[in-house]
A and B are shown apart, each in its own frame.
Chain A
C-alpha cells in the first residue's frame, strides 16, 4: 500500500496475556518509529529503528515491551504480561531517512484494550 499499515486495528485482551502489534512502513523508508497515545494525550515516543537496529529504545516503559525489525521493513511491537495501564493507541510512523528532524508518516494505529 501507499501508506503505513498497522494490524490489528483493534485488539482486546485480558490482563497478563501477550500481544503483538505489526507495522508495515512505506516502502523504502529506512526509519521506523513506535509511539503510544493515551486518551487526551499527545503521542509518547517508545522506540526508533534505523534499518534493522533499534537506534533509540529509551521510551520503552519497562522490559515487558520489546520491538523487532529483522529485515529492515516490517516491525513488530511485543508486549508481555499486559496490564490495564497498557491500554492505548499504538502508532507506528516511518520516514525516508532518520534523524532529519522532518516529517513522519503515521499509520492509523492499533487500539489496545487490556481488560
Chain B
C-alpha cells in the first residue's frame, strides 16, 4: 500500500526562524510529489516535484526531492505569522489518478 509520512507532526517557532518540513514515502511506480498549504479549509498548491535534485523555489519557500532515498523537504526561510498553517505532502503514482496525502505538519509561527 502506498504510504506518505510527514514529520514533525507539529512545529512551533518564532517569526524569522527557518524551518524544514519532511516528507518520506513508500510507493510503487512513483510519478510526482506535491506540497500543499492548508490554512483553514481549502488546501492550496505550492509545488510539484518529479525529478530528483532539482529545487523548486517560490519566494521564501523551496522544496527538493530525493527519489533514491524516497523523501522530500520543504524549507521556509524568514518565517512570518502568515506561514502558520498545515503543510500537506502528497504523492501520485503512475497510472493512478489520485493524490495520497500524508498526515500533515501543523506549523505555528509565533510573533
Q: How far is the CB of B105 from chain A (nearest CB, A)?
A: 10
Residue in B45, B50, B97, B103 whose beta carbon sits within 8 Å of that of A56 in the complex: B97
CB < 8 Å: which of B45, B50, B103, B104 contacts A104?
B45
With beta carbons under 8 angstroms apart, the residue of B40, B43, B92 that contacts A43 is B43
Chain B residues whose CB sits within 8 angstroms of the CB of A108 once the complex forms = 40-42
Q: Is the CB of B32 within 8 A of A102?
A: yes
Output the residue of A41, A45, A59 with the most chain B CB within 10 A: A45
Contact residue range for chain B?
20 to 34
Is B21 an interface residue when CB atoms closer than 8 A count as contact? no
Knowing A99-B97, A101-B48, A101-B92, the reply to whether A42 touches B103 (Cβ < 8 A) is yes
B99–A104 CB distance below 8 A: yes
Q: A33-B97, A102-B32 are in contact. List 7 more A-B contacts (CB 8 A).
A: A3-B42, A42-B6, A42-B88, A42-B90, A42-B104, A44-B101, A101-B32
